Amino acid sequence: MNASATELRIWIVVDALDRSADVLGAAMRLAAGRAVELAGLFVEDADLLRLAGWPGATETRLLETTLRPVAGAELQAALRAQALALHRRLDTLARDIGVPSSFRIARGRVVQQALHLAGSGDWIVLASAATGLRLQQAASRARPLVWLLPDDVEALSPLLAAATRYDPQRSAERRVVLPPDATHAARLRAASQAAGTRLQLVRESELIVRASCGPSVPGDLVLMTRESGAADPQRLGRLLRRGVGPLALV
């Protein structure tokens, strides 16, 4: 489906097909009832392709102990097959909810490519980049969690608005992650108390611990402002590598 004039573009950005399910689900909920375009971006990992091009490059798969040779052309073909499958899933989703869609492939790193290609008013949904096995949840949760990551007091309002857009029935529990900066964290805590809100304030370490267990309830989402992600892409990449996701930049 071709894109037309829309209110908003929501980017779905992944570098592996097996990370796309939660991202597509989050994008669908963010797009519900809005004039949006769903834009897919599959990022071919430039570092991985470079390594595969070295003579004698090998790979080992999860739960396997043997090494097998891997060539750059073979890896390139595998990535293109994943991109094609993602394109089909995105197109099907867009048709189901009645919005236009577009798709492209880029080579590089996920965070940098997403921030570079998306327009200033676009939203970006990123997948967790965690690899390997995750810890098992000690107990299942009845409600999904929506985590808000404001850098300061001013960033809280747009994140709350995005949370309402994502979860208008307030079926998810909202938690505000205090920023690393101690001064901003103190101001955010004071503003929350002064407003009499019932937001639960937590530290980033709690988000990381939860992320290490993986999302146990469909609908979990992390929200960060686009400005925050662009200002500190290293922190954004670190959160994704530690299992935080799906994460939406709004």
| 183-235 pLDDT tens trace | 999 998 888 777 656 678 999 999 998 887 765 677 899 999 999 999 999 99
**For the chain, how many structural domains are there in total?**
2
Instruction: Look at residues 74, 91, 126 and tell me which one is the last residue of a structural domain.
Output: 126
The pLDDT score that the predictor gives to residue 192 is 76
Asked whether residue 182 falls in the same domain as residue 109, the answer is no
Q: Can you give the residue range of the structural domain that contains 184?
A: 145-245
DSSP 55: T
Instruction: Look at residues 126, 159, 190 and tell me which one is the last residue of a structural domain.
Output: 126
Give the CA distances from residue 189 to residues 150, 153, 193, 200, in Å, rounded to whole numbers and listed in that order: 11, 9, 6, 10
**82: domain CATH number?**
3.40.50.620
The pLDDT score that the predictor gives to residue 42 is 93
Coil, strand or helix at 177: strand
Within a domain: 3 = no
CA atoms within 13 A on the CB side of 170: 5
Asked whether residue 98 falls in the same domain as residue 207, the answer is no
The pLDDT score that the predictor gives to residue 20 is 85
What is d(CA 220, CA 173) in angstroms, rounded to the nearest whole number? 9
Asked whether residue 169 falls in the same domain as residue 117, the answer is no
The stretches in the chain having pLDDT less than 50 are 1-4, 57-60, 62-64, 67, 132-139
The pLDDT score that the predictor gives to residue 176 is 93
Asked whether residue 51 falls in the same domain as residue 80, the answer is yes
Asked whether residue 23 falls in the same domain as residue 104, the answer is yes
Asked whether residue 93 falls in the same domain as residue 172, the answer is no
Coil, strand or helix at 101: strand
Each residue of 3-25: b (16+ CB within 10 Å) or e?
eeeeeebbbbbbbbbebbebbbb
